[in-house]
Structure 1
Amino acid sequence: MNDSDLRDWLILIRAPGQGARRIREGLVLRGGVGGYMAWLRSHGERLPAETRAWLAAPDEAALARDTAWLQGANHRLLLCTDEDYPPQLEAIADAPAALFVAGDAALLLRPQVGIVGARKAQAPALATTRRFAAELAAGGLLVTSGLADGVDGVAHAGALDAGEPTVAVIGTGPDLVYPSKHRALAHRIAEQGAIVSEFAPGTPSCAQNFPMRNRIIAGLSLGVLVVEAGLRSGSLITARYAGEQGREVFALPGSIHNPLAEGCHALIAEGAQLVQRSDEILAALGPAAVELGAELRARLAGPGPAVPVAKRPAGPFDWRQDDEYRRLIDAMGYDPVLLDALVGGTGLAPGALSSMLLMLELEGEVAVLPGNRYQRVVR
């Protein structure tokens, strides 16, 4: 990647009003980062004011900080257009456009199991977490978690103490450690595994970042184990993401008198697999791990796509030449319409419709309205 492309990527990552899905679709529609940035700059009237302002005058100090971090040893910006972008993460609906990685980015290609749980987990649950992490790591699954206090931190330490690498997906910039008590642990992970962040250097800890982090933990993993969690635990968000992404969800049962077992019991009632031994997880995820290995071998044996795959017609984009796009436009009519109504009116899947609507929005054919409504633009 040349310096110009890197600068464009860093500007896009920090641009307000963009986000992972919009960037990925823009790359597909415009043939790469240079083409997408050129389109954004030439169609400023279609962008929110804050996006226009950022593109016209990005924070050079912030971009310099990003560049300086990337120059550090074993630091990388892993792009969704790179051949070694993890295929299991690429498969989710809202995959990150780019990841800042400290450590060995190749580890993200390995079959992974997410281990999450309560920050204030009790001592028996923490001991179980450590044992499961060590056994799963020894069994060939890379342990992935969120570096949080409690179960997350112990899962990372359990894998490392067993002589195996681990991946931490964090909710801050890659240059920050939260909680600060895990600074030494984060150093070990970066040395022996990988620290991964969707957020640019300097991004502080804030509440909305952690659900975004959780979708990445679930997306990287073939399955997620919830060790101990209350009914309002963020671990249940990770489990929900895993279920929505078609991944296995495992839960450890606990005492009916323990409030931190209620989340696990709720997951089991909803269909999560109750597990008591690590070999149950290894057996359940074995076929998926083999399938992932075959997919990686096939991908790395060929040239690979230059840009991420998405729903679009072959050749230059012209919705008028595509039957599905015309069907979508016809179904919209001229009044605001909800996505659910378009699903019923077109027979298309919600994920495909979302991609198509974004492309039409970028073309200026569709406007997005409050309340997740869409309206055709009349010229």
Structure 2
Amino acid sequence: MPLHFTTDELSAWLRLSLEPGLRSDQARLLLGALGLPPSIYAASSSALLRYLPAPLVAQLRQPPNDTLQQQIDRTLQWLDHEHHHVLTLADPAYPPALLDLHDPPLILYINGQLSHLQQPALAIVGARNATPGGTAIAQDFAHYLAAQGWLICSGLASGIDQAAHRGALAAGPQGAGTVAILGTGIDLVYPAAHRQLAHDIVQHGILLSEFPLGTKALPYHFPKRNRLVAAFSKGVLVVEAARQSGSLITAKLATELGREVFAIPGSIHSPLSRGCHALLRQGAKLVEQAQDILEELAPNSLNPPLSTLAPDPTLSAAARQVLTLLDYSPQSVDELQRLWTGSPATLAQSLLELEMASLVARLETGNYQRLKN
């Protein structure tokens, strides 16, 4: 459970985190040397001058300016709503994994169910412009792992992130849920198209941000977000990624923090496989099924694997035959027709049946790609 601060104590924490010109490392230095924020703001000028330049000391010795006070008041009002929380560095509920960072946030803003913070976390990240096959893999892995008690962590972006969150939510109330770490203030959703997804996460997981309320999406916020994704989780799974991508930055940060890094291999012809293949060459663990991750992170907690080894028995015989012809790399209808011994009409009908069963995807190019075993 979070600490219950008085309004003055919480206001002092908020002010310290929002203080103009005060770097986070300076704030942590003051906390270590002078104690909690109320003690910092009660300290004499001579005590503060040991750690801060004179202009900052003068600022801290004065009441907060109008802009800063309005921001503090706005946050206190935000906290009046259900599921809204602030965790400080001194709070027992503060995620201990984030303390491995050299710059853990002074304040975490949380919207959702704090109980989810007690679950072990696994990050699933990847390309925003993911393929249908990649999003299906991310969703399936997240679903299974959430059902096994792993809180699925990602960044609420399009593509793989979105699929990971949705997969975890699909595990239902018995699953461990999902945490979306934001690159904006907790009161904003980016991209805006994920507003409903964010609402669903609040019901069965948490939204988490280190940024003050009202902070908009800016490019330099997302590397900061990525470091929290890496630190928060015991491991990071990269599903699809280009050679230069934020997902590889997250994986690099995870390695530096001693977390496990997993990668799913793909077609040598796909640009979105190159990042994963680079990670594998650098020592990431190759993953083909969710059980591979559990064997590394929790070898004593394995349940029997979800059965995806046989096609849906409700499929027609023709559709089952066509499924055996499909590869996990895109294939054209002409290529399939050369392999298929039946009529073109039956092939087209079978492909539609498989698409409706979410076993294959029809790409924008008109090609087809197999999604599952």
Q: TM-score, normalised by structure 2?
A: 0.73
Tell me the SS of whatever aligns to 1:113.
strand
Tell me the SS of whatever aligns to 1:101.
strand
- Match in the other structure for 1:374: none
Question: Residue 5 in 1 paired to residue 12 in 2?
Answer: no
User: Mean alpha-carbon deviation: is it higher for 202-211 or for 34-43?
Assistant: 34-43
Tell me the SS of whatever aligns to 1:147.
coil
Match runs of 1:206-225 below 5 Å = 206-225=218-237
**Residues 4, 278 of structure 1: alpha-carbon distance in 2 compared, 3 angstrom cutoff:** same
Question: Residue 31 in 1 paired to residue 40 in 2?
Answer: no
Q: Which has the higher helix share?
A: 1
Tell me the SS of whatever aligns to 1:199.
coil
Q: Kindly name which structure, 1 or 2, has the bigger radius of gyration based on alpha carbons.
A: 2
Q: 2:21 aligns with which of 17, 20, 40?
A: 17
Tell me the SS of whatever aligns to 2:288.
coil
Q: 8 Å contact 2:14–2:107 — kept in the other structure?
A: no
Q: Measure the CA separation in 1 of the matches of 2:24 and 2:235.
A: 23
Q: Measure the CA separation in 2 of the matches of 1:205 and 1:39.
A: 36
**Residues 151, 25 of structure 1: alpha-carbon distance in 2 compared, 3 angstrom cutoff:** same
Q: Measure the CA separation in 1 of the matches of 2:6 and 2:294.
A: 42
Q: 8 Å contact 1:228–1:264 — kept in the other structure?
A: yes
Q: 8 Å contact 1:21–1:96 — kept in the other structure?
A: no
Gaps of 5+ in 1: 290-379
Q: 8 Å contact 2:45–2:57 — kept in the other structure?
A: no
Q: 2:291 aligns with which of 261, 279, 292?
A: 279
Q: 8 Å contact 1:11–1:55 — kept in the other structure?
A: no
- Match in the other structure for 2:267: 255
Q: Measure the CA separation in 1 of the matches of 2:97 and 2:124.
A: 17
**Residues 288, 34 of structure 1: alpha-carbon distance in 2 compared, 3 angstrom cutoff:** farther
Match runs of 1:110-129 below 5 Å = 110-129=119-138
**Residues 259, 70 of structure 1: alpha-carbon distance in 2 compared, 3 angstrom cutoff:** same
User: Mean alpha-carbon deviation: is it higher for 106-115 or for 142-151?
Assistant: 106-115
**How many equivalent pairs are there?**
289
Question: Residue 231 in 1 paired to residue 210 in 2?
Answer: no
Tell me the SS of whatever aligns to 1:206.
coil
- Match in the other structure for 1:95: 104
Q: Measure the CA separation in 2 of the matches of 1:61 and 1:25.
A: 26
Supply the AA of the counterpart residue of 1:253: P
Q: 8 Å contact 2:41–2:60 — kept in the other structure?
A: no
Gaps of 5+ in 2: 302-373
Deviation at 1:40, TM superposition (A): 8.2
Match runs of 1:1-379 below 5 Å = 1-39=5-43, 43=48, 46-47=52-53, 49=55, 53=59, 56=62, 57-58=64-65, 59=67, 60-163=69-172, 164=175, 165-286=177-298
Q: 8 Å contact 1:143–1:155 — kept in the other structure?
A: yes
Supply the AA of the counterpart residue of 1:251: A
Supply the AA of the counterpart residue of 1:214: N
Deviation at 1:132, TM superposition (A): 0.5
Q: 8 Å contact 2:160–2:239 — kept in the other structure?
A: yes
Q: 8 Å contact 1:223–1:242 — kept in the other structure?
A: yes
- Match in the other structure for 2:345: none
After superposition, the C-alpha distances for 1:245-286 in whole angstroms (9 at most, x for unaligned) are: 100000111111111111111111111111111001111111
Q: Measure the CA separation in 2 of the matches of 1:176 and 1:258.
A: 34
Deviation at 1:3, TM superposition (A): 1.2
Q: 8 Å contact 1:116–1:227 — kept in the other structure?
A: yes
User: Mean alpha-carbon deviation: is it higher for 36-45 or for 253-262?
Assistant: 36-45
Deviation at 1:37, TM superposition (A): 2.9
Supply the AA of the counterpart residue of 1:47: P
Identity %, equivalent residues: 44
User: Mean alpha-carbon deviation: is it higher for 54-63 or for 238-247?
Assistant: 54-63
Q: 8 Å contact 1:114–1:225 — kept in the other structure?
A: yes
**CA root-mean-square deviation:** 2.1
Supply the AA of the counterpart residue of 2:143: A
Deviation at 1:48, TM superposition (A): 7.7
Supply the AA of the counterpart residue of 1:27: L
Q: Measure the CA separation in 2 of the matches of 1:146 and 1:27.
A: 30
- Match in the other structure for 2:365: none
Q: Measure the CA separation in 2 of the matches of 1:210 and 1:182.
A: 17
Q: 8 Å contact 1:222–1:288 — kept in the other structure?
A: no
Q: Measure the CA separation in 2 of the matches of 1:176 and 1:124.
A: 30
User: Mean alpha-carbon deviation: is it higher for 228-237 or for 102-111?
Assistant: 102-111
User: Mean alpha-carbon deviation: is it higher for 56-65 or for 131-140?
Assistant: 56-65
**Relative contact order, CA 8 A, sep 6+: which one is greater?**
1
